[in-house]
Structure 1
Amino acid sequence: MSTVSVDQRPLKQSIVHPKSPAQGGAAYPVLTLPHELTSEIFLRCLPPVPELSSDAKNGPNASLAPLLLLRICRTWRNVALSTPHLWVHLHLILADLPMDLDEVELERRVVDWFYRTGSCSLSFSVALGSPFVDGFGAEAIRAILRRHAPRLQTISLQLEKAHFLRLNSILGPFPALENLSLALPFNTGESGDASEVRALKPFLTAPRLQQLSYGDRARPRMFSLPYKRLSKVTCDALSGDEFLDLIQGATFLQELTCSVNRKAINFSGVPITHNHLRTLSLIYNSSTGIVRFLCLPTLETLHLSLDIPDSPSNLTFLAFLAHSSGSFFQYFFAALDRTEHSSFLPRLRALSFVDTSFDVTQPVIQALSSRCVTGDQAAALESFQLMWPRGFTAESLKESIIKGMLIHIGPAWKNSVWLAHRGEKVAR
């Protein structure tokens, strides 16, 4: 990828420009389109906004829109430069920048890029692309965030500790910030060795922040953030205490995706009730011990990838109900049976197990069947997914199928996937 100064690049002499009628030729039909329609076409040429990833390809690339559009002809150049939304997102890969580029010039190029956006909201993301950046770009990034803080709606930073330490002097405010992603991809130490970056506060004043993503060794305790208003959080491995802190601090949280390790949890008292969480995904072989500290009356979707071979030594999801430490699945599906526990997860509509295997026994079938009907303040379970079943036959779930539940048994990438809905079976 080549990075260019986007405002002064001359047009290549080899490019043939359309002749005007006054020059004895006919204008190309595409140049007769209304300015607004051409602008809309240009917007559809933009590469997708990257996820927080070191291999994202878009950014100031001369072979991609919007820079490519400046090089076709003068008409298209003028349209592109006068279309603010073409320039609202900028993604930088620091390792791909020219080696002789200093930070003052980097800042100037970003200022030139965002100058074309008028008063539009902005999206700014930075990835290292290599572990050998050695703090390059930190001053330019800090200056960019300071300058454009009032209009930054999305910020994604995949940086080294040295970068974040220099950003700590910004102290906001970020009045428009709604989506924030933070990652430390090349932090080689454990979380305990990252004390230098704990309680960083550059984004503490962000009253509209709703979506937060931690990745690549970035942890909640490294940053001071306004968790209370968050509606969606995604993060990697958390300790049990970090998980509970997040649940207690983000009182309006609606969607949480994370993994939870099996370290001891320092908690005593009644389970924590969260009255807004609608989707919980415990991924990457999470410990189930954490969930027994929760009461989730509004939960609609539960996605589980669990580190729980049926072992009495494990803390189990529902052990506190029976005051026992038996099989996780035994107590889970016993509690899921609405005829026995009508108050357990009353709003649950979707349940899935990934990277987890268990026997589809009669108690499992009975629990699923009981969830096909609604009741007072209760919702019907609309879908059930089990990727690695044991002892499963299609007929064993016939009653649930007939009552309208969507059953998905088997991995999605194999022909053995079996789907059934309202009594109809579809083989893939």
Structure 2
Amino acid sequence: MSQVNVASELAERPATQCPDCARTHSLRTLIPSPFQCIIARELMPTASETAAIREFVLETDAEIARRERDINRPRCEVVELRRRAEQHKAILAPIRRVPPEILAEIFLQLADIERFWGRSHNYYNDGEIFEKEYLTRPSLRTAPLIFGQISRKWRAVALSIPSLWNRISLKCTDKKMENNISLCNMWLKRSGALPLFFQFHRLIYFPSDVVSPKLVDDYRVLLRTILPHAKRWRSVDLENFPASSYKVLHDLLPNSVLVLEALSVRYDSREQPALVSTPWAGLHIAPKLRLLDFSSIRGAEIIVGGERPTFPWSQLTHIDVGDCSAYDCLRILGQALTAVACKFAVKHPSPLQHPPVSHSGLRTFKLKYDGDVFLLWSCLTCPLLSTLAIEKQVFSSNISLRGLPSFIARSGATIENFTLDSSSFDDTQFMASLTEMPRLRRLCVLEHGTGTQFTDAVWGSLTSNSPSPLVPDLESLRLEGATGFSHKSVVRMLESRVRTADSPADFVPKLKVVSITIFRNMSQSALSRLMEFEKFGLEIGVDVYSYNEEEEDGSEASDAESESEADGEESDEEDV
């Protein structure tokens, strides 16, 4: 008998844990090698032993190959048996007994859940259908494509539900335009006759002033794909398409777009605005259009009040336009009398004067300015305004907001939400504006500009036990910047507006949320003193960005010294 055959004689052992695979099974131990003594003692084999060892190795390798062939067949059989078991288990699964109409409702609910988690409320936030969604490229792992990956029945049900396919959202990359067009065609074919929602956002990784003719043609093909279905458009959201690609609308855009409710067209500022906006001039025959979002109206030859207006301003309720002047804003507001929410980005001077405009329906007004807006504040009146947000470009020149307090006073005391971002206001002008907003409930100030709105004087005016306190109904305060006051003035204000142990029995606090981001040094003791108001039910958050930790104690100490001299209080540490 050969040495390998001798080594193959196996001895049975009880079931135990295998040291190689860590599983419990019966081990069959091989008879030890006849050359074990040479291996253990690391001896040099003789010539005859060397020949025997080589023969043993060859026979062992042959035995390994034979046993691996014998193992492969059971392994394949195990795989087949598992597949068979899963198939028979699937037949008994309760989901197979669900009627198709119930399965369709499940699909719709799952698709709505995915859209909900990807939804971001835009600045209108009025509970209407005009909500933006974060774009994600269609994937086999998400609805609705995932439903076609389970079984033939699921695929048939998914294809029979047009409402799963009437919302088309694509992140367009210049190198994959064929895929984008193919996906768009797929969704259109499966959407039946339902109204269509489009979101096409072109991703620009390396901005260039030169756009190739081929790229323009690709986006024209994408527009041609959706244009035959224009009568079913309900919402169209296009971003960063090459300006020249919109020329295709001149020939193919129908005279009437009867169900369109929202149009959003945003593009690179280096493009020519007229090339983008002029082809949409036919939308004055869009009787249901309510939302218009155009990143630039400069050079669009906008006509309001004429025989052929570029857009149906008189029927719009939500307007968001940029690259305009204060004069353009007044012209639009004078015509768009049904608007309830408007947002403008003013970048150009106003060449002309404008008669006063009183807009009795406007409730939300947001302004981002990089140019003079005095004409707007001096001519506009909004008696029902409840939300006012003003933002200055951080790197723009120091542009004054003169006239804003008079605009607020002229409009009336109805403003409940006020946001001031990167303003050049000083504390006196800021308090003058707050004086005209006695019904204010939510206040947001971002001190990213040259002005400092919040000082100790402002905190003192907000303290409710002071003479004639400002904004007595304040519920929420957000402040970012916070470089011009001492933390003690904040403490006094919070003590007057939060129900503490020392508050009168009939005191009902209105302040609920305070968020402060401080771009200067603050001691840990001062921070702890502010955070103590949490135990009184105030939702407070304080973030401190200390750029020079070595001066942290000194800055707070100087605050404490100045306040001690003014008010006769104890030292900072004793107070905390």
What is the TM-score when the length of structure 2 is the normalising length? 0.55
Query: Contact conserved, 1:355 with 1:388, CA < 8 A, in 2?
Result: yes
Q: In 2, distance between residues paired with 1:228 and 1:400? A: 44
1:265 aligns with 2:378: no
- Could you say which residue in structure 1 is the equivalent of 2:569? none
Q: 1:121 aligns with which of 170, 192, 195?
A: 195
Distance in 2 (CA, whole Å) between partners of 1:99 and 1:90 is 15
Q: Which residue in 2 is equivalent to 1:376?
A: none
The answer to whether residue 291 in structure 2 is matched with residue 204 in structure 1 is no
Range with greater deviation from structure 2 (72-81 or 281-290): 281-290
Cα offset, 1:77, TM superposition: 0.5
Q: Quick check: 1:178 aligned with 2:261?
A: yes
Identity of aligned residues (%): 21
Letter in 2 for 1:118: G
Counterpart of 1:318 in structure 2 is 404
Deviation of 1:65 (Å):
2.5
Aligned partner of 2:173 in structure 1 is 95
Closer, same or farther: CA 176–407 of 1 in aligned 2, 3 Å? same
Residue in structure 2 matched with residue 306 of structure 1 by the alignment = 392
What letter matches 2:461 in structure 1?
A: Q
Q: Which residue of 2 aligns with 1:394?
A: 490
**Deviations 1:119-144 (Å, cap 9, x if unpaired)?**
42211232333565223141452352
Distance 2:369 2:398 in 1: 21
The match for 2:366 is 281
The answer to whether the Cα contact below 8 Å between 2:441 and 2:475 also exists between their aligned partners in 1 is yes
Counterpart check, 1:57 vs 2:136? yes
Residue of 521, 525, 539 corresponding to 1:426: 539
1-side partners of 2:92 and 2:400: how far apart? 75
Q: Computing the radius of gyration over CA atoms, which structure comes out larger, 1 or 2? A: 2
Deviation string, structure 1 residues 45-94 (Cα, Å, up to 9, x no partner): 445378899993234x4454322322321010011011121101113445
Query: Structure 1 residues 230 and 396, CA, compared in 2 at 3 Å: closer, same or farther?
Result: farther
Q: CA deviation at 1:176?
A: 1.1
Mapped to 2, the partners of 1:167 and 1:99 lie a distance apart of: 19
Distance apart, 1:255 and its partner CA: 1.7
Shift in CA distance, 126/198, structure 1 to aligned 2, threshold 3 Å: closer
Aligned to 1:68: 146
Show the counterpart of 1:5: none
State the Cα distance separating 1:244 from its structure 2 match.
Answer: 2.5
Q: Find the aligned partners of 1:291 and 1:358 in 2 and give their Cα distance.
A: 20
Where structure 1 has 5 or more consecutive residues not aligned to the other structure, the ranges are: 1-15, 338-343, 374-379
In structure 2, list runs of 5 or more residues that go unmatched: 1-82, 121-130, 205-210, 303-309, 408-423, 500-508, 542-576
Alignment of 1:145-224 (within 5 A): 145=227, 147-158=228-239, 159-169=241-251, 170-185=253-268, 188-189=270-271, 193-200=272-279, 201-215=281-295, 221=300, 224=310
Q: Which one of the candidate residues 289, 292, 295 is aligned to 2:381?
A: 295
The farther-off stretch of 411-420 and 350-359 is: 411-420
- Tell me, in whole angstroms, the C-alpha distance in 2 between the residues paired with 1:143 and 1:25: 41
SS in 2 for 1:410: strand
C-alpha distance 243-386 of structure 1, shift in aligned 2 (>3 A): farther
Aligned length: 382
Return the match for 1:43 from 105, 108, 114: 108
Secondary structure of the 2:226 match is: helix
2:493 paired with 1:410: no
2:93 maps to what in 1?
A: 28
CA RMSD for the aligned pairs? 4.4
Distance 2:492 2:364 in 1: 28
Q: What is the aligned partner in structure 2 of residue 136 from structure 1? A: 218
2:445 corresponds to: 353
- Per mean C-alpha deviation after superposition, the further-off stretch among 118-127 and 352-361 is 352-361
Shift of 1:26: 2.8
Q: Does 1:230 align with 2:286?
A: no
1:331 matched residue in structure 2:
429
Deviations 1:195-230 (A, max 9, x none): 444533143321111222234x56593772212222
| Partner Cα distance (2:105, 2:519) in 1 | 37
* Cα deviation, residue 179, structure 1: 1.4
Does the CA contact (< 8 Å) of 2:172 and 2:203 recur in 1? yes
- Secondary structure at 2:104 match in 1: helix
Change (3 A) 1:283 1:100: closer
Distance 1:307 1:177 in 2: 33
Q: State the Cα deviation string for residues 366-404 of structure 1 (Å, max 9, x = none).
A: 37865546xxxxxx5544433223215323434455652
Moved more, 43-52 or 252-261: 43-52
Pair 1:426–1:91, CA change in 2 (3 A): closer
Distance in structure 2 (CA, Å) of the matches to 1:188 and 1:75? 50
CA contact (8 A) 1:177 1:206 kept: yes
Cα distance change of structure 1 residues 77 and 363 upon mapping to structure 2, 3 Å threshold: closer
Distance 1:134 1:17, change over 3 A: farther
Residue in structure 2 matched with residue 11 of structure 1 by the alignment: none
- Paired with 2:153 and 2:238, the residues of 1 have a C-alpha distance of 35
Specify the SS of the correspondent of 1:302.
strand
Partner of 1:362: 457
Give, in whole Å, the separation in 1 of the partners of 2:199 and 2:236. 6
Q: Distance in 2 between matches of 1:256 and 1:368?
A: 33
1:127 aligns to what SS in structure 2?
Answer: strand
Quick one: which of 47, 70, 79 aligns to 2:157? Answer: 79
Q: Secondary structure at the match of 2:353?
A: coil
| SS of residue paired to 1:221 | coil
Deviations 1:346-375 (A, max 9, x none): 7654332224442334367537865546xx
Does structure 2 conserve the Cα–Cα contact (< 8 Å) formed by 1:304 and 1:352?
A: no
Residue identity matched to 1:221: A
